[in-house]
Structure 1
Amino acid sequence: MGVSLSAVWTQIFPPKDRAPITEKNLGSQKGKVFIVTGGSSGIGYELTKLLYAAGAKVYILSRTPANVDAAIQRIEEAYADVDKSDLGSLHFVPLDLEDLESVRDAARSFKEKETRLDVLFCNAGLAAVPGNKRTKQGIEMHLGVNTVAHVLLERSLLPILTATAKVAPKDSVRVVWSASIVVDCMAPTGGVPPSFLETPGTNIGVKYSISKTAAWFSASQLAREHGRESGVVNIAGNPGTYFTNVWRFTPTIISYVFRFFMRDTVFGAYTYLWMGFSNEVTMEAAEEGRYGICDGRWHPGQREDLVLANLAVEDGGTGEAKRYMEWVDEKIGPFLDV
């Protein structure tokens, strides 16, 4: 597998009560604007709830209006007894990650409403989609939803992220990418085989692991490409293992077994808080391709083949991540509206 047992173990059974950033020390986020894709359920819901309680303006980008409305109502009711002046606000922008046209339209809609964006949390995703389903633009479903659509969203929102970085503290404007323990355990050699991009095969576990490895690669490549110029930090990490909607296509017997390792989704939100707010997360770390793990720590040592794949040939790597991003840019190019 190429990764130590201890590195896997600490992600399945992270130290208890060790999250560096929680609602207790997050601090006020008044005046700041955030996007959480898939913020109406699971980890995204818990993150949205924490940001709202801290006074942030949070945009939930999701596909189903009824689900978002219900989530907003639950969050507001949870803080019904709190002084409204201490709370933030919650807003909805339609987003279907299976359709790059919808991603483009969501970015346009947000930019019509705001001139600031402090952190984009690329949280939404899916796993174990049966069959050989593809997105509207013909991209393998896991890869298209979990990664390619979010690359388009990041690139479309880069101007507003960059503008915010010019007036915000150094390295505080970020794009946070959701990866997974399957990057360590199931990703094929090199992470994203070129053959997979057009001929994905049938193994749903491999499809998911490739999509999550691609999320890490995307974060690192984007950081190296425009981080210094834009001031925007792109960082990826494994928020942990939780029973969320991402499991909705998983066979019952498999999800039942994994339930024994799953924790409360709020701990996943704590990992996002660390990636989104910790001073340990810097532009230098992003450019190096560093990778966070639950509940807010750096990975103790990733697979060598993936580390090399994430590096350019001129830097001693294999250049596979760079080639992957070139392929992504070809796919999203017609929908890029900046």
Structure 2
Amino acid sequence: MPLLGVGLATIWSQFFPPKNPPITENNVPSLSGKVFIVTGGSSGIGYELSKILYGAGGKVYILSRTKSNVEAAIAKIKSEVHPTEGKELGGLEFIHMDLEDLASVQSAAKEFVAKEARLDVLFNNAGVAHLPAEKRTKQGLEYHHGVNSVGHVLLSKLLMPILSETAKKSPPNSARVVWPASIMVELTSPAGGVLVSQLDTPSPKIDEHYSASKAANWFAASEFAKRSGRETGVVSIAGNPGSFVTNVWRSTPGFLYYPFLPLLRKPVQGAYTYLWMGFSEEVNMDEAVAGRYATCDGRWHPGQREDLLLALKSEEEGGTGRAKGYFDWCEGKIAPFSTL
């Protein structure tokens, strides 16, 4: 049965996904010698992901705004994770980054490349939801788009050279950028996913801004893959990690939050989706260039809304070109900050 352009079973399976995720902390491969970035890794899904990566031997940089929160998260992870036979622990480090300020994103990228010679996977995890319609970033962008998407577009662009260098000395398809979307992409995003013509003059529809910013992450992943994926060797992939009890709900009114509460799961299960997007052999350049979209807890989405699929295609390809339009708009906004 269709619901809002997708099958009812598709919606249901994102709230109640199949059991036995393909990749968990119990079978993730050794990540010794590999380097990762997790934005917003001090709580929620990002915290659980950082914990798993560290436990598997990866060196994890948590890019976040509040140093004290990250330091507390790192201390907690180290107190809970212990080496097991045949595996060594990785490392955990903090780099300050405030996604509402593109200058801060630029500074964080510069600090990272000064410290490291490789980056295996960038997890663009951080995000906000349900903030006042009038709230703006330092550069005057609508807040959900600025933090959830535009800041991560800039970070990905600035780190693409080091990701590409890592791709050259790694197995094919292993250097990646992972982008989080949401069930709200198909439930409440506007026709075409993102209203590019309204990005500079946003409407007062708060929930639409959030869902559109998550659709924008999918569009950004697709455009990175199409424009430079085969040249750089870096796979950019987006997907819905699921719905969880995390801090993203802290600004949501109770009358919206509590009806959803029975459907929310533990954040670690969201980390399993990230692990699949970050390490599964099913995820490759061909799928990324095609604009494939992952879903919880590690599988391909069975079929998105037709208007969103058309948005991924250019007008020459028979689509609406909405993804291209969004990415071009982003490039204009990040241009003053796009070099290190």
The interval holding the TM-score normalised by the smaller chain is: over 0.9
| Conservation of the 8 A alpha-carbon contact between 1:130 and 1:249 | no
Q: How far 1:314 moved relative to its partner?
A: 1.5
Which amino acid in structure 1 is aligned with residue 175 of structure 2?
A: V
Q: Is the 8 Å Cα contact of residues 191 and 210 (structure 1) preserved in structure 2?
A: yes
Contact 1:43 1:269 in 2 (8 A): yes
Q: Is 1:6 matched up with 2:9?
A: yes
Q: Kindly state the Cα deviation for residue 81 of structure 1 after the two structures are TM-superposed.
A: 6.7
**Aligned residue pairs: how many?**
337
Q: 1:194 to 1:131 in 2, by over 3 A?
A: closer
SS of alignment partner, residue 35 of structure 1: strand
Q: Are the equivalent residues in 1 in contact too, given 2:56–2:87 (CA < 8 A)? A: no
User: Which residue of 274, 284, 297 corresponds with 2:299?
Assistant: 297
Q: Distance in 2 between matches of 1:302 and 1:236?
A: 13
Q: Shift of residue 201 of structure 1? A: 1.1
Residue 85 (structure 1) shift: 7.0
Task: Say which SS state the counterpart of residue 271 (structure 1) adopts.
Answer: helix
Distance 2:270 2:28 in 1: 15
Runs of 4+ in 1 over 4 A off after TM superposition: 80-85
Mapped partners of 2:221, 2:7: distance in 1? 23
1:263 maps to a residue whose letter is R
Cα distance in structure 2, aligned partners of 1:179 and 1:148? 14
Which residue of the partner structure matches residue 30 of structure 1?
32
Secondary structure, aligned partner of 1:86: coil
Shift of the alpha carbon at 1:253? Answer: 2.1
What is aligned with 1:171?
A: 173
Q: Deviation string for 1:65-107 (max 9, x for gaps)?
A: 0000000000000025757971001000000000000000000
Residue of structure 2 aligned with 1:283, choices 264, 282, 285: 285
Distance 2:181 2:317 in 1: 24
After superposing the two structures, state which structure 1 stretch, 46-55 or 246-255, moved more: 246-255
Query: For residues 1-338 of structure 1, what are the structure 2 equivalents within 5 Å?
Result: 1-16=4-19, 18-80=20-82, 86-338=88-340
Whole-angstrom CA distance in 2 between matches of 1:308 and 1:315? 9
Read off the aligned partner of 2:50 and give its amino acid letter.
Answer: T
* Distance (whole Å) between structure 2 residues aligned to residue 90 and residue 124 of structure 1: 17
Matched to 2:304, the amino acid is: Q
Gaps of 5+ in 2: none
Amino acid at match of 2:8: L
Cα deviation for residue 23 of structure 1 reads 1.1
Q: CA deviation at 1:32?
A: 0.1
Q: Quote the Cα distance in structure 1 between the aligned partners of 2:29 and 2:111.
A: 29
Give the AA of the match of 2:172.
K
1:28-73 Cα offsets, whole Å, 9 max, x none, are 1000000000001000000000000000000000000000000000
TM-score (norm. length: structure 1): 0.98
Native 8 Å contact 1:107 1:156 kept in 2:
yes
For the 8 Å contact 2:55–2:82, the answer to whether it is kept is: no
1:220-266 CA-to-partner distances (Å, cap 9, x unmatched) read 01100000000000000000000111111100121111111011111
The amino acid of 1:259's aligned partner reads L
- The answer on whether the counterparts of 2:189 and 2:211 sit within 8 Å (CA) in structure 1 is yes
User: For 2:83 and 2:212, how far apart are their aligned partners in 1?
Assistant: 45
Give the counterpart letter for 2:312 in structure 1.
N
Q: Indicate the SS of the match to 2:98.
A: coil
Aligned mates of 2:219, 2:249 — CA distance in 1: 23
* Cα RMSD after superposing both structures: 1.2
Q: Greater shift after overlay, 252-261 or 90-99?
A: 252-261
